[in-house]
Structure 1
């Protein structure tokens, strides 16, 4: 096993990192594309890792802010009520329960809105986090560093002492820009894309990780793979 980092807290993206909500995401965004006469492939090339409203603005630049708000409200309601097929990814529950057992602080930092995030957390059955950062808490979404900086601030841990778990390029760039340590989950993107373009440690799933109690007095943890 190779040591990948020593950290005091963990910051997790949600979709594609802890849970698999791809089926629900595909249904919702396909309906939105049809509703607005958008190319479905273009839609899915834009949305992963970004707040939904930012994606809508990118996909429909001709629409006014009020029109984007209307589409956002429609989409949020749809996604918060359609969690069919949302499942936990291998190792997520065990890893989060181990963090809780050792009193290691952790938070979810997602580009989704609060209603959507909480619906998917409940549907997947992962442990409920004490801290959730959503699109409702920030002014600039991933790949901007604000989401992960806010996550670290809410946990009361310096960002450089946080391990950031991500699956998408936009989220990885957000974690890097914030100054966190990075671990990428290969759920949506290939190892070549994430390693070559973003130069991060990659794993297939959280069950490949081992954890050791590092410096108990300093509350640091060692993560290996």
Structure 2
């Protein structure tokens, strides 16, 4: 597989933030009087506001905004246990050193995304492209976030590879027309058979530049 740029999801792909995510959303579930497991089964890969609206159907926008603000503050402040996933730092450092463009495309908001990015010690993208929930009207699984990421890198979607763990994000990347690499995706992920690679770790990726300046992506065996 060849590409020109990478579009990385953040949570679950580059960063293990699951303990912090589950703490915050379990507390929100209690506030909303909703079974915590129902919430945890729904939220992954989606914008927080989408999930809150789902569980607060019939509520006023004011009430929804209040719970969103509470959750955003909680998630931005709670970074205990947030770490880089295996191979993430090495991969991003390699891309920077090789001058291969990459961006982060997350369903999280700016305060949460930047807090977790810093807590995990991830390198900054040389492109300075960081797509967050505030920048798109429709979140994953709609294609908007990855279409914007490709545009900001200066490439067509088909010239980019999306790296994702969540079903909503994988569907978003496919809908955008990008190549997609799934990492630790659930076995029942819709359209998983359509991704280019389904990996258990970022360490399985082998990336090299070709003579014509493209990026070749192989899977280590």
TM-score by length of 2: 0.95
Contiguous gaps of at least 5 residues in structure 2:
none
Q: Which residue of 2 aligns with 1:53?
A: 49
Q: Give the alignment's Cα RMSD to 1 decimal.
A: 1.1
Number of paired residues?
Answer: 215
In 2: Cα distance, 1:211 partner to 1:147 partner? 24
Pair 1:221 & 2:215 matched: yes
2:170 to 169, 172, 180: 172
1:87 aligned onto 2:111: no
Aligned 8 A contact 2:28 2:71 in 1? yes
- Report what 2:141 is aligned to: 143
Give the match for residue 193 of structure 1: 188
Question: How far off is 1:198 after superposition?
Answer: 2.4
- Does 1:43 pair with 2:39? yes
**What is the aligned partner in structure 1 of residue 8 from structure 2?**
12
The separation in 2 between residues aligned to 1:21 and 1:215, in whole angstroms, is 38
Which runs of 5 or more residues in structure 1 are unaligned?
none
Runs ≥4 in structure 1, deviation > 4 angstroms? none
| 1:203 equivalent in alignment to 2:199 | yes
Structure 1 Cα separation of the partners of residues 29 and 211 of structure 2: 51
> Whole-Å Cα distance in 1 between the matches of residues 94 and 106 of structure 2?
21
Q: Deviations over 1:193-213 (max 9, x none)?
A: 24x742122111111111121
Structure with more contact order per residue of length (Cα contacts < 8 Å, sep ≥ 6): 1
Contact kept, 8 Å, 2:93 with 2:123, in 1: the verdict is yes
